[in-house]
Chain A
Amino acid sequence: MSFEPKILGIACNWCTYTGADLAGTTRLQYPQNLRVVRVMCSSRINPSFIFKAFQLGADGVLVGGCHPGDCHYNTGNLYARRRLAVTKKILEFSGMEPGRFRVEWISASEGNKFAEVVREFTEEIRNLGPQTKFKIS
Protein backbone atom coordinates (compact mmCIF):
# COMPACT_ATOMS: atom_id res chain seq x y z
CA MET A 1 0.00 0.00 0.00
CA SER A 2 1.26 3.47 -0.77
CA PHE A 3 2.22 5.71 2.10
CA GLU A 4 -0.45 8.19 3.17
CA PRO A 5 1.07 10.76 5.52
CA LYS A 6 -0.71 11.68 8.73
CA ILE A 7 -0.37 15.38 9.26
CA LEU A 8 -1.43 17.36 12.30
CA GLY A 9 -2.59 20.89 11.59
CA ILE A 10 -2.84 23.38 14.43
CA ALA A 11 -4.69 26.47 13.28
CA CYS A 12 -5.70 29.64 15.04
CA ASN A 13 -9.41 30.30 15.22
CA TRP A 14 -9.40 33.74 13.66
CA CYS A 15 -7.35 33.38 10.52
CA THR A 16 -6.08 30.02 9.44
CA TYR A 17 -9.05 28.00 10.69
CA THR A 18 -11.42 30.44 9.02
CA GLY A 19 -9.24 30.25 5.92
CA ALA A 20 -9.63 26.47 5.99
CA ASP A 21 -13.38 26.94 6.25
CA LEU A 22 -13.29 29.20 3.23
CA ALA A 23 -11.33 26.62 1.30
CA GLY A 24 -14.09 24.18 2.18
CA THR A 25 -17.05 26.39 1.31
CA THR A 26 -15.48 27.34 -2.01
CA ARG A 27 -15.09 23.62 -2.72
CA LEU A 28 -11.33 23.74 -3.16
CA GLN A 29 -9.69 20.34 -3.39
CA TYR A 30 -6.79 19.53 -1.11
CA PRO A 31 -5.36 16.29 0.29
CA GLN A 32 -7.20 14.73 3.20
CA ASN A 33 -4.04 13.96 5.09
CA LEU A 34 -4.39 16.96 7.36
CA ARG A 35 -6.29 16.72 10.65
CA VAL A 36 -6.85 20.15 12.07
CA VAL A 37 -6.97 21.13 15.71
CA ARG A 38 -8.29 24.60 16.38
CA VAL A 39 -6.67 26.83 18.99
CA MET A 40 -7.61 30.38 19.82
CA CYS A 41 -4.27 31.82 18.76
CA SER A 42 -0.95 30.57 17.46
CA SER A 43 0.57 31.70 20.75
CA ARG A 44 -1.63 29.13 22.50
CA ILE A 45 0.51 26.39 21.04
CA ASN A 46 2.68 24.73 23.62
CA PRO A 47 5.82 23.42 21.90
CA SER A 48 5.26 20.11 23.69
CA PHE A 49 2.13 19.67 21.51
CA ILE A 50 4.46 19.34 18.58
CA PHE A 51 6.84 16.91 20.25
CA LYS A 52 3.86 14.91 21.45
CA ALA A 53 2.29 14.82 18.00
CA PHE A 54 5.45 13.31 16.58
CA GLN A 55 5.57 10.80 19.42
CA LEU A 56 2.00 9.78 18.69
CA GLY A 57 2.90 9.13 15.10
CA ALA A 58 2.34 12.31 13.12
CA ASP A 59 4.46 12.40 9.98
CA GLY A 60 4.33 16.18 9.83
CA VAL A 61 3.02 19.14 11.82
CA LEU A 62 1.69 22.30 10.20
CA VAL A 63 1.00 25.36 12.31
CA GLY A 64 -1.15 28.14 10.92
CA GLY A 65 -1.65 31.61 12.33
CA CYS A 66 -2.65 35.10 11.31
CA HIS A 67 -0.15 37.21 9.40
CA PRO A 68 2.15 39.12 11.75
CA GLY A 69 0.36 42.33 12.64
CA ASP A 70 -3.06 40.72 12.09
CA CYS A 71 -3.32 38.55 15.19
CA HIS A 72 -6.73 38.88 16.83
CA TYR A 73 -4.89 39.47 20.09
CA ASN A 74 -2.49 41.90 18.39
CA THR A 75 0.80 40.39 19.46
CA GLY A 76 0.16 36.67 19.97
CA ASN A 77 1.77 35.53 16.77
CA LEU A 78 4.77 37.79 17.31
CA TYR A 79 5.57 35.81 20.45
CA ALA A 80 4.65 32.58 18.70
CA ARG A 81 7.02 33.33 15.84
CA ARG A 82 10.00 33.44 18.20
CA ARG A 83 8.86 30.43 20.19
CA LEU A 84 8.14 28.22 17.18
CA ALA A 85 11.43 29.23 15.59
CA VAL A 86 13.12 27.76 18.66
CA THR A 87 10.96 24.63 18.39
CA LYS A 88 12.13 24.24 14.83
CA LYS A 89 15.80 24.56 15.80
CA ILE A 90 15.35 22.06 18.62
CA LEU A 91 13.70 19.52 16.34
CA GLU A 92 16.47 19.98 13.83
CA PHE A 93 19.26 19.57 16.40
CA SER A 94 17.61 16.50 17.87
CA GLY A 95 17.94 14.84 14.46
CA MET A 96 14.37 15.20 13.21
CA GLU A 97 14.07 16.12 9.52
CA PRO A 98 13.45 19.89 9.55
CA GLY A 99 10.89 19.63 6.74
CA ARG A 100 8.41 17.84 8.98
CA PHE A 101 7.49 20.99 10.87
CA ARG A 102 6.22 24.11 9.21
CA VAL A 103 4.66 27.41 10.25
CA GLU A 104 2.54 29.39 7.79
CA TRP A 105 0.63 32.63 8.08
CA ILE A 106 -2.73 32.21 6.38
CA SER A 107 -5.49 34.80 6.70
CA ALA A 108 -9.24 34.19 6.81
CA SER A 109 -9.57 35.22 3.17
CA GLU A 110 -6.77 33.03 1.89
CA GLY A 111 -8.67 29.82 1.25
CA ASN A 112 -6.57 29.36 -1.84
CA LYS A 113 -3.33 29.70 0.04
CA PHE A 114 -4.55 27.21 2.63
CA ALA A 115 -5.30 24.59 0.01
CA GLU A 116 -2.00 25.32 -1.74
CA VAL A 117 0.04 25.00 1.47
CA VAL A 118 -1.64 21.73 2.42
CA ARG A 119 -1.03 20.31 -1.04
CA GLU A 120 2.60 21.30 -1.02
CA PHE A 121 3.29 20.20 2.56
CA THR A 122 1.61 16.83 2.04
CA GLU A 123 3.80 16.20 -0.99
CA GLU A 124 6.89 17.14 0.98
CA ILE A 125 5.97 14.74 3.78
CA ARG A 126 5.13 12.04 1.29
CA ASN A 127 8.64 12.37 -0.11
CA LEU A 128 10.17 12.24 3.36
CA GLY A 129 8.35 9.00 4.09
CA PRO A 130 7.00 7.79 7.43
CA GLN A 131 8.27 9.50 10.55
CA THR A 132 9.84 6.87 12.80
CA LYS A 133 12.34 8.77 14.92
CA PHE A 134 10.05 10.11 17.65
CA LYS A 135 7.22 7.65 17.20
CA ILE A 136 6.49 5.55 20.26
CA SER A 137 5.77 2.05 19.09
Chain B
Amino acid sequence: MATSFKQIEENLKTEAGKLLDAGKVSMVLAYGRGYDEKHPLPYVARSLADVDGMVFNEYCTANLARYLVRYPRGTKIGIAAKAADSRAVIQLIQEDKVKRDDLVILGIPVYGMKNAKTDEAIDAKTTCGLYNPVIYDVLLGEEVHGQPVLSPYEVLEKVEAMGQDERFAFWKKELDRCIRCYACRKACPMCYCDPCFIDQNKPKWGEKSPETGGNLMYHLTRFHHLAGRCIDCGECSRACPVDIPLYLFHKKVAKECEEMFGQAAGMSIDEKPALINFRVEDSDKILE
Protein backbone atom coordinates (compact mmCIF):
# COMPACT_ATOMS: atom_id res chain seq x y z
CA MET B 1 0.00 0.00 0.00
CA ALA B 2 1.32 3.38 -0.92
CA THR B 3 1.32 5.98 1.83
CA SER B 4 -1.47 8.54 1.43
CA PHE B 5 -0.72 12.07 0.31
CA LYS B 6 -2.06 13.43 3.61
CA GLN B 7 0.25 11.16 5.53
CA ILE B 8 3.24 12.19 3.40
CA GLU B 9 2.34 15.83 4.01
CA GLU B 10 2.28 15.18 7.77
CA ASN B 11 5.62 13.37 7.65
CA LEU B 12 7.09 16.15 5.53
CA LYS B 13 6.04 18.77 8.07
CA THR B 14 7.39 16.73 10.98
CA GLU B 15 10.75 15.99 9.39
CA ALA B 16 11.20 19.50 8.01
CA GLY B 17 10.32 20.90 11.42
CA LYS B 18 12.90 18.70 13.10
CA LEU B 19 15.62 19.76 10.68
CA LEU B 20 14.88 23.48 11.00
CA ASP B 21 14.45 23.32 14.75
CA ALA B 22 17.79 21.58 15.21
CA GLY B 23 19.45 24.06 12.87
CA LYS B 24 20.67 21.26 10.60
CA VAL B 25 19.51 23.15 7.52
CA SER B 26 18.83 26.81 6.85
CA MET B 27 15.88 26.07 4.58
CA VAL B 28 13.67 23.28 3.38
CA LEU B 29 12.48 23.26 -0.24
CA ALA B 30 8.98 21.83 -0.44
CA TYR B 31 5.52 22.62 -1.78
CA GLY B 32 3.11 25.25 -0.55
CA ARG B 33 -0.42 26.34 -1.29
CA GLY B 34 -1.20 27.91 -4.66
CA TYR B 35 -4.42 29.56 -5.75
CA ASP B 36 -6.15 26.21 -5.67
CA GLU B 37 -5.18 22.70 -4.71
CA LYS B 38 -4.35 21.78 -8.31
CA HIS B 39 -1.63 24.38 -8.45
CA PRO B 40 0.69 24.00 -5.48
CA LEU B 41 3.76 26.21 -5.59
CA PRO B 42 7.38 25.64 -4.72
CA TYR B 43 7.82 26.71 -1.13
CA VAL B 44 10.81 27.59 1.00
CA ALA B 45 10.52 27.07 4.74
CA ARG B 46 13.18 28.93 6.69
CA SER B 47 11.89 28.50 10.21
CA LEU B 48 9.70 26.21 12.24
CA ALA B 49 6.80 28.64 11.81
CA ASP B 50 6.92 28.25 8.02
CA VAL B 51 6.43 24.50 8.15
CA ASP B 52 2.66 24.81 8.52
CA GLY B 53 2.40 26.27 5.03
CA MET B 54 3.60 23.07 3.39
CA VAL B 55 1.31 20.89 1.36
CA PHE B 56 1.70 17.66 -0.54
CA ASN B 57 -0.82 16.25 -2.97
CA GLU B 58 -0.99 14.49 -6.33
CA TYR B 59 -0.36 17.73 -8.21
CA CYS B 60 3.00 18.46 -6.57
CA THR B 61 4.86 17.52 -9.74
CA ALA B 62 7.42 20.34 -9.87
CA ASN B 63 11.01 19.18 -9.65
CA LEU B 64 12.41 21.12 -6.72
CA ALA B 65 16.00 20.26 -7.59
CA ARG B 66 15.53 23.16 -9.99
CA TYR B 67 15.98 25.56 -7.08
CA LEU B 68 19.10 24.03 -5.50
CA VAL B 69 21.55 25.95 -7.66
CA ARG B 70 20.05 29.31 -6.61
CA TYR B 71 21.66 29.35 -3.22
CA PRO B 72 25.31 30.01 -2.44
CA ARG B 73 27.54 26.97 -2.20
CA GLY B 74 27.67 25.60 1.28
CA THR B 75 24.09 26.53 2.18
CA LYS B 76 22.59 23.65 4.10
CA ILE B 77 19.37 22.71 2.37
CA GLY B 78 16.65 20.19 3.04
CA ILE B 79 14.78 19.16 -0.08
CA ALA B 80 11.65 17.16 -0.73
CA ALA B 81 12.44 14.85 -3.64
CA LYS B 82 10.27 12.38 -5.48
CA ALA B 83 11.77 9.57 -7.55
CA ALA B 84 12.89 11.49 -10.64
CA ASP B 85 13.67 14.56 -8.53
CA SER B 86 16.18 12.54 -6.53
CA ARG B 87 17.89 11.61 -9.79
CA ALA B 88 18.15 15.32 -10.56
CA VAL B 89 19.79 15.83 -7.16
CA ILE B 90 22.28 13.06 -7.97
CA GLN B 91 22.99 14.55 -11.36
CA LEU B 92 23.64 17.98 -9.82
CA ILE B 93 26.01 16.36 -7.34
CA GLN B 94 27.82 14.64 -10.25
CA GLU B 95 28.15 18.02 -11.93
CA ASP B 96 29.48 19.54 -8.71
CA LYS B 97 26.71 22.12 -8.52
CA VAL B 98 25.82 21.01 -5.00
CA LYS B 99 27.57 18.91 -2.39
CA ARG B 100 26.02 15.78 -0.94
CA ASP B 101 27.02 16.89 2.56
CA ASP B 102 25.10 20.13 2.26
CA LEU B 103 21.83 18.36 1.54
CA VAL B 104 19.26 16.53 3.57
CA ILE B 105 17.06 14.68 1.10
CA LEU B 106 13.52 14.00 2.21
CA GLY B 107 12.55 11.23 -0.18
CA ILE B 108 8.96 10.83 -1.31
CA PRO B 109 7.80 7.56 -2.85
CA VAL B 110 5.36 8.51 -5.59
CA TYR B 111 2.27 6.73 -6.61
CA GLY B 112 -0.64 8.34 -8.40
CA MET B 113 0.82 11.75 -9.26
CA LYS B 114 -1.34 13.64 -11.73
CA ASN B 115 -0.87 16.17 -14.47
CA ALA B 116 -2.83 19.23 -13.37
CA LYS B 117 -3.70 20.19 -16.93
CA THR B 118 -5.16 16.88 -18.06
CA ASP B 119 -5.81 15.10 -14.77
CA GLU B 120 -4.12 12.06 -16.27
CA ALA B 121 -1.91 9.87 -14.13
CA ILE B 122 1.80 10.49 -14.65
CA ASP B 123 3.58 7.29 -15.57
CA ALA B 124 6.48 6.01 -17.62
CA LYS B 125 4.97 7.53 -20.74
CA THR B 126 6.12 10.99 -19.75
CA THR B 127 8.61 10.30 -16.95
CA CYS B 128 11.22 7.73 -15.97
CA GLY B 129 8.47 5.77 -14.26
CA LEU B 130 10.37 5.11 -11.03
CA TYR B 131 8.33 5.02 -7.84
CA ASN B 132 10.98 5.39 -5.16
CA PRO B 133 13.72 7.98 -4.70
CA VAL B 134 17.14 6.69 -5.72
CA ILE B 135 18.84 8.62 -2.92
CA TYR B 136 17.43 9.95 0.35
CA ASP B 137 18.21 10.56 3.98
CA VAL B 138 14.68 10.19 5.28
CA LEU B 139 11.88 8.42 3.45
CA LEU B 140 8.53 10.09 4.05
CA GLY B 141 6.38 7.05 3.30
CA GLU B 142 6.57 3.38 2.60
CA GLU B 143 8.44 2.23 -0.47
CA VAL B 144 6.15 1.48 -3.37
CA HIS B 145 6.64 -2.05 -4.63
CA GLY B 146 5.98 -3.49 -8.05
CA GLN B 147 7.27 -2.88 -11.51
CA PRO B 148 6.22 0.07 -13.64
CA VAL B 149 3.61 -1.03 -16.15
CA LEU B 150 5.58 0.42 -19.04
CA SER B 151 9.27 0.69 -19.66
CA PRO B 152 10.26 4.35 -19.97
CA TYR B 153 11.09 4.01 -23.66
CA GLU B 154 8.04 2.13 -24.94
CA VAL B 155 6.33 5.39 -25.73
CA LEU B 156 8.99 6.05 -28.38
CA GLU B 157 7.97 3.20 -30.63
CA LYS B 158 5.61 5.21 -32.79
CA VAL B 159 8.04 8.03 -33.52
CA GLU B 160 10.93 5.63 -34.01
CA ALA B 161 8.97 3.71 -36.59
CA MET B 162 8.43 6.80 -38.75
CA GLY B 163 10.52 7.37 -41.84
CA GLN B 164 12.94 10.33 -41.88
CA ASP B 165 10.63 12.63 -43.82
CA GLU B 166 7.60 11.79 -41.74
CA ARG B 167 9.57 12.31 -38.55
CA PHE B 168 10.89 15.63 -39.76
CA ALA B 169 7.36 16.75 -40.57
CA PHE B 170 6.25 15.60 -37.11
CA TRP B 171 8.90 17.63 -35.30
CA LYS B 172 8.53 20.62 -37.56
CA LYS B 173 4.84 20.74 -36.80
CA GLU B 174 5.46 20.43 -33.07
CA LEU B 175 8.40 22.82 -32.80
CA ASP B 176 6.81 25.44 -35.03
CA ARG B 177 4.15 25.87 -32.33
CA CYS B 178 6.76 26.89 -29.75
CA ILE B 179 6.18 30.45 -28.53
CA ARG B 180 9.63 30.68 -26.92
CA CYS B 181 8.37 31.37 -23.44
CA TYR B 182 11.26 29.24 -22.10
CA ALA B 183 9.07 27.62 -19.48
CA CYS B 184 10.74 24.33 -20.44
CA ARG B 185 14.19 25.50 -19.47
CA LYS B 186 12.87 27.26 -16.37
CA ALA B 187 11.25 24.06 -15.16
CA CYS B 188 14.29 21.92 -15.86
CA PRO B 189 16.67 21.16 -12.99
CA MET B 190 19.53 20.72 -15.47
CA CYS B 191 19.07 24.02 -17.32
CA TYR B 192 21.12 26.22 -15.07
CA CYS B 193 23.39 28.03 -17.54
CA ASP B 194 23.45 31.79 -17.33
CA PRO B 195 23.23 33.02 -19.99
CA CYS B 196 21.59 30.24 -21.95
CA PHE B 197 23.25 29.85 -25.37
CA ILE B 198 20.08 31.02 -27.12
CA ASP B 199 20.16 34.35 -25.26
CA GLN B 200 23.67 35.11 -26.47
CA ASN B 201 24.16 37.77 -29.10
CA LYS B 202 27.76 37.11 -29.99
CA PRO B 203 27.59 34.63 -31.56
CA LYS B 204 23.90 34.69 -32.20
CA TRP B 205 22.94 31.05 -32.52
CA GLY B 206 19.37 31.54 -33.61
CA GLU B 207 16.51 33.95 -33.98
CA LYS B 208 15.03 34.96 -30.67
CA SER B 209 11.51 35.46 -31.93
CA PRO B 210 9.36 32.36 -32.40
CA GLU B 211 9.98 31.17 -35.94
CA THR B 212 11.03 27.90 -37.55
CA GLY B 213 14.79 28.35 -37.70
CA GLY B 214 15.31 29.74 -34.21
CA ASN B 215 12.93 27.23 -32.69
CA LEU B 216 14.79 24.35 -34.30
CA MET B 217 18.15 25.69 -33.14
CA TYR B 218 16.93 26.27 -29.60
CA HIS B 219 15.39 22.85 -29.23
CA LEU B 220 17.98 20.70 -30.97
CA THR B 221 20.76 22.35 -29.00
CA ARG B 222 18.81 22.08 -25.78
CA PHE B 223 18.25 18.36 -26.42
CA HIS B 224 21.97 18.07 -27.03
CA HIS B 225 22.94 19.98 -23.89
CA LEU B 226 20.74 17.65 -21.87
CA ALA B 227 22.18 14.48 -23.38
CA GLY B 228 23.29 12.13 -20.62
CA ARG B 229 21.94 14.63 -18.07
CA CYS B 230 18.17 14.64 -18.51
CA ILE B 231 16.72 12.52 -15.74
CA ASP B 232 13.34 12.19 -17.37
CA CYS B 233 11.18 14.00 -14.84
CA GLY B 234 8.91 15.25 -17.63
CA GLU B 235 8.58 18.71 -16.11
CA CYS B 236 9.59 20.51 -19.32
CA SER B 237 6.67 19.01 -21.21
CA ARG B 238 4.20 19.69 -18.39
CA ALA B 239 5.38 23.28 -18.15
CA CYS B 240 4.90 23.89 -21.86
CA PRO B 241 1.82 26.05 -22.47
CA VAL B 242 1.32 24.63 -25.95
CA ASP B 243 1.97 21.00 -24.95
CA ILE B 244 4.92 20.17 -27.16
CA PRO B 245 5.94 16.56 -26.34
CA LEU B 246 9.54 17.44 -25.54
CA TYR B 247 9.79 14.30 -23.41
CA LEU B 248 9.80 12.18 -26.59
CA PHE B 249 13.03 13.71 -27.78
CA HIS B 250 14.65 13.72 -24.35
CA LYS B 251 13.73 10.08 -23.87
CA LYS B 252 15.18 9.14 -27.25
CA VAL B 253 18.48 10.84 -26.45
CA ALA B 254 18.54 9.24 -23.00
CA LYS B 255 17.90 5.83 -24.52
CA GLU B 256 20.70 6.24 -27.06
CA CYS B 257 23.09 7.45 -24.35
CA GLU B 258 22.28 4.44 -22.20
CA GLU B 259 22.94 2.12 -25.09
CA MET B 260 26.17 3.84 -26.14
CA PHE B 261 27.70 4.65 -22.77
CA GLY B 262 26.12 2.08 -20.49
CA GLN B 263 24.84 4.47 -17.87
CA ALA B 264 21.65 6.35 -17.15
CA ALA B 265 21.69 9.92 -15.86
CA GLY B 266 21.41 10.55 -12.14
CA MET B 267 21.55 7.02 -10.82
CA SER B 268 24.72 7.11 -8.71
CA ILE B 269 26.75 9.88 -7.12
CA ASP B 270 29.95 7.97 -7.90
CA GLU B 271 29.54 8.23 -11.66
CA LYS B 272 30.63 11.01 -13.97
CA PRO B 273 28.17 12.43 -16.50
CA ALA B 274 28.54 10.39 -19.69
CA LEU B 275 29.49 13.29 -21.93
CA ILE B 276 32.24 14.70 -19.76
CA ASN B 277 33.77 11.28 -19.63
CA PHE B 278 35.09 8.69 -22.05
CA ARG B 279 36.46 5.22 -22.13
CA VAL B 280 39.49 4.46 -24.25
CA GLU B 281 37.67 1.38 -25.47
CA ASP B 282 34.62 3.35 -26.70
CA SER B 283 33.91 2.04 -30.16
CA ASP B 284 33.76 4.01 -33.39
CA LYS B 285 30.52 2.13 -34.01
CA ILE B 286 28.67 4.80 -32.05
CA LEU B 287 29.46 7.24 -34.86
CA GLU B 288 27.73 5.16 -37.50
Contacts and interface: CB of A to CB of B under 8 A. Distances in A.
A92 B217 CA distance: 15
A136 B287 contact: no
A69 B124 CA distance: 40
Given A48-B221, A51-B217, A55-B216, A89 B256 contact: yes
Nearest to B249: A93
A85 B280 contact: no
A112 B220 CA distance: 35
Interface string A49-86: 00110010000000000001100000100110111111
Interface residues of B, number: 41
B169 A86 contact: no
Contacts of A86: 224, 227-228, 253, 256-257, 260, 275
A47 B227 CA distance: 12
Given A51-B220, A81-B284, A90-B223, A95 B164 contact: yes
A84 B284 CA distance: 11
Nearest to B283: A81
Interface residues of A, number: 32
Main secondary structure of the interface of A (DSSP, over half): helix
B212 interface: yes
A68 B281 CA distance: 10
A28 B223 CA distance: 40
Interface string B1-35: 00000000000000000000000000000000000
Contact of A47 (B221, B228, B249, B287): B221
B205 interface: yes
B241 interface: no
Given A55-B216, A86-B224, A94 B171 contact: yes
A13 to B, nearest CB: 21
23 contacts: A47-B221, A48-B197, A51-B220, A52-B217, A55-B213, A68-B280, A82-B260, A82-B274, A82-B286, A85-B260, A85-B287, A86-B224, A86-B228, A86-B275, A93-B159, A93-B167, A93-B253, A94-B168, A94-B249, A95-B167, A95-B168, A96-B164, A96-B168
List the 8 closest pairs (A to B, CB-CB), nearest first.
A95-B168, A78-B278, A85-B286, A95-B167, A136-B213, A89-B256, A86-B227, A103-B287
Interface of A: 47-48, 51-52, 55, 68-69, 75, 78-79, 81-90, 92-98, 103, 105, 133-134, 136
Interface of B: 159, 164-172, 197, 205-206, 212-213, 216-217, 220-221, 223-224, 227-228, 249, 252-253, 256-257, 260-261, 274-280, 282, 284, 286-287
